[in-house]
Amino acid sequence: MGDFSNDSSRPHDATLRFGYESPGRARVVARAVAREVGEIDGDRSAATVERDGDSVVVRVVADDLVALRAGCNTWGSLVEVAERTSELA
């Protein structure tokens, strides 16, 4: 769901980890959010989404701190919407 583990061109990064009651719930949220990888990346930031057991891990990389903050806010909001939506299903 995206890989930039060796992306030294973007000096700022943040890792957001969201824990769930089960790996199944984490899978549903990760799948919903991962669809946005590559679609909403900007010129100054990018993100990856992975599931790690009962957690969803979003890694945001950015050229500067303003872009990093914006990316973290965006991805946090996307995860929140996916959580609410999956609760209704």
pLDDT 10s digits, 31-46: 999 999 988 877 899 9
Query: What's the mean pLDDT in 1-18?
Result: 75
Say which DSSP state 72 is in. Answer: H
The whole-number pLDDT of residue 27 equals 96
Residue 7 confidence (pLDDT): 54
> pLDDT tens for residues 60-85?
999 999 999 999 999 999 999 999 98
pLDDT at 86: 83
**DSSP code, position 32:** H
CA angle 34, 40, 42 (to 5 degrees): 130
Cα–Cα nearest to 89, from 24, 19, 39? 24
Whole-model pTM: value is: 0.85
Specify the pLDDT at position 41. 76
